[in-house]
Copies of this chain bind each other. A is one copy, B any other.
Amino acid sequence: MPTLRRDARRNRDSIVSAARQVFASVGFDAPLDAVARRAGVGRGTLYRHFPDRHALAVAIFEENVREIERAAESAVDGPGGFDVLLRSVVEQQVRSPGLVPAVLSGTETSELRAMGVRVACAFAAPLRRAQEAGSVRSDLTTADVVVIVRMVTAVVDAERDEGRRRLAAARALDLLGRGLG
């Protein structure tokens, strides 16, 4: 469905946005009704756009991934691009609570797996440049980057309050950056 009627598009967007908020405050197992209500649409409309909860998670992540891809394109230049990109991804996680269970329960899904690949790809160039500049160890792969994001996200998601989430993220990045030794 590349082209969607204007109003349908608006509804779809409302729903995804509502899902973000509801999942953030109630959890990923929130009633889908609550999502529909907050989006201001009927049950059926929700179901038309997203046949199940998982489809909703995919849509949310899709937006996140796209944002990461955009960030990757802007940040390609210097050797510090990797760090900037990583921090922007972490910041995204700080502001998007409640999605970890979605990731975990859906690891199997090919869609989510594909998104992981896209995130890895987005990091490819900046990572290479940083490694060439010597600011990142040379055996780090893009798969490792995804792992790193996952680690930070886990720490972040242990907190509710945004400020504390940001603090937790910083500490996690610090531990990761300098190593334990």
Q: Choose among B27, B152, B181 the residue that contacts A177 (Cβ–Cβ < 8 A).
A: B181
A4 interface contact, C-beta 8 A:
no
A150 interface contact, C-beta 8 A:
yes
A32 interface contact, C-beta 8 A:
no
Q: What is the count of identical protomers in the complex?
A: 4
B-side contacts of A29, CB under 8 Å: 29
A30 interface contact, C-beta 8 A:
no
Q: What is the minimal beta-carbon distance from A57 to any residue of chain B, in angstroms?
A: 14
B154 and A150 contact, CB distance less than 8 A:
yes
A177 and B179 contact, CB distance less than 8 A:
yes
A107 interface contact, C-beta 8 A:
yes
Q: Roughly how many angstroms separate A158 CA and B181 CA in the complex, as a whole number? A: 26
Q: List 22 A-B contacts (CB under 8 A).
A: A29-B29, A100-B100, A101-B104, A104-B157, A104-B158, A107-B159, A136-B180, A137-B178, A137-B179, A137-B181, A147-B168, A147-B172, A151-B151, A151-B154, A151-B172, A153-B154, A154-B154, A176-B176, A177-B179, A177-B180, A178-B181, A179-B179
